[in-house]
Amino acid sequence: MNSITRLAFPSLFTAFFLVSCGPSLTDITTSLIEQGRNDEALARMRRAVVLEPNEAEYHRLMGIALYNKKQYAEAIKTFDKVLKMDDEDDQAAYYLAASYEASKDYNKAIQNYRLYNELTFFGEYRELVESRIKLLYRQQMEIEAQRALQMEKQLDVSKIPSNTVAILYFENKGQKAELNPLQKGLAEMIITDLSKVRSLKVIERIRLQQLIQEMNLGETDLVDQKTAPRLGNLLGAYRLVKGSYFELKDDKVNIDAFVAQTKTGQLDVTTNISGNIKDFFRLEKDLVFKLIEEMKIKLTDEEREAILEIPTENFFAFLQYSRGLDYEDRGMYTQAYEAYSQAAITDPNFSQAKTSASSAKKSEQIVGPTTEQSGSQQQSENNQQPNTVSTSSTSTSSSPLSLSPPTLVPSSNPINRPGGGSIGDRLNNLIGNINNNLNPGTGNQNQPPPVISRPLPEPPKPPVN
């Protein structure tokens, strides 16, 4: 080898080494997307997929650029294609959900956000997405409430399954306004317990709350003999559980409950229970078992044991938790977080309070911080509806937030991705779970799309690697 060859060889080797270790096409495209140069990124990927049509990563980057350009219909088609190529691509699942959300298809957005949470191992961001699912579900329930009212004349009470039941908020008939939060808290406990009975289909409290807001009802309207059957029809509930509570002397409390048929409005069951307010949870269990017995439902040993589980034995912790429910219904996530946190501090073993506090904090990150109403405004509302908790969900955030579109979501390493069947099987399961919670007969696609009163900001920025 002559001297010229010896000199040339290292130069050629160095050039090859530099080229092979330089930024890849996907690295360059990712950098362009992060700089907001989506048109350039899209052009590169369109050329790339012509040469390598089966490269899922190229299609995914093309979909993200389309999403950033707000071309959501094309983005949806692209991410669908990616998931057919790689059914465990969590990044594609996230952006598919975000594209559906931007297109106001909240049902499919929820499905794919849940799919993302099933596929990814980024725990902290999974919690944020779970909170977003809850917020979207509230919006979905708002749509369902509007559709139910639009189609009210077409609803047939006789077709409502006989095992469906809705629990309305209980009325505080006592003089202690500080017990008002129990109106929702007690209903929530009964819903939780009756949901453990396999033979019953219990309407979710969020569905009830959204319908109440849409109908602009006060708490006293819920026990009205004319309003209650109408609510049952709109909710798709064969039976309604309603009632009231009031304090007695020596820290005693009395709880009355009634079960009425939606079709006739007539009472099938009337029962009551009383005892020390510190034993509120035991009283609630006794009340639930009485209702079940009066409805002639036979429980298995497993169901009975599940109902007997008590989330907390600290009454004041539960009172704070109930206050958190009301704040959350009103879109006041800062205050909801504080109430749930106080419940968790009061009883460190109250796991549901801790979970709800974490969820409220994540929701606050999405919609922005909220401020308490002024004293005069709150007093005005109290004067209009004494001894009631609020059913209004009007957010009191100081200013609406407009979050930026998400940056690139971290993609899980394929080695670490969980299994669980094909993408089709998992989506079908998710669709089934959601559809089981929707009111039958209210999802008519021929109806004009209802207007969301409080649209969510765009999906939040995920963490970076």
Superfamily of structural domain 160-304 = TolB, N-terminal domain (3.40.50.10070)
12: Cα within 13 Å, side-chain hemisphere = 6
Tell me the pairing of strands 252-261 and 239-247. antiparallel
The set of residues, in sequence order, having a beta carbon less than 8 Å from that of 238 and lying 6+ positions away, is 160, 161, 162, 163, 164, 165, 232, 261, 262, 263
| Extended beta strands in 248-396, E state | 252-261, 267-276
Fill in the DSSP letter of residue 270. E
As a whole number of angstroms, the distance between CA 78 and CA 316 comes to 52
The total of other beta-carbon atoms located within 10 Å of residue 232's CB is 26
Nearest to 150 by CA among 452, 453, 448, 454: 448
As a whole number of angstroms, the distance between CA 338 and CA 321 comes to 10
Q: pLDDT 10s per residue in the chain (465 long)?
A: 444 334 344 444 444 444 455 678 989 998 998 899 999 999 999 999 999 999 999 999 999 999 999 999 999 999 999 999 999 999 999 999 999 999 989 999 999 999 999 998 877 788 888 888 999 998 889 888 988 999 888 888 888 999 999 999 999 999 899 999 999 999 999 999 999 999 999 999 999 999 988 888 776 666 566 777 888 889 999 999 989 999 888 889 999 998 988 887 778 888 889 999 888 999 999 999 999 998 899 999 999 999 999 999 999 999 999 999 999 999 999 999 999 999 999 999 999 999 999 999 998 988 888 876 544 444 444 444 444 556 554 444 333 333 334 445 567 644 444 444 455 555 555 545 444 444 433 333 333 333 444 455 555 555 444
As a whole number of angstroms, the distance between CA 225 and CA 242 comes to 11
The pTM (predicted TM-score) of the whole model is: 0.75
Please classify residue 401 by burial: count the beta carbons closer than 10 Å to its beta carbon, then call 0-12 exposed, 13-18 middle and 19+ buried. Answer: middle
* CA-angle at 444, arms to 440 and 448, nearest 5°: 140
Domains 160-304 and 311-409 share a fold: no
Q: DSSP assignment of 86-140, as one string?
A: -TT-HHHHHHHHHHHHHTT-HHHHHHHHHHHHHH---HHHHHHHHHHHHHHHHHH
Question: Strand, helix or coil at 165?
Answer: strand
CATH number for the domain formed by residue range(s) 311-409: 1.25.40
**Which amino acid, 333?**
Y
Q: Domain ranges in the chain?
A: 160-304, 311-409
The total of other beta-carbon atoms located within 10 Å of residue 127's CB is 16
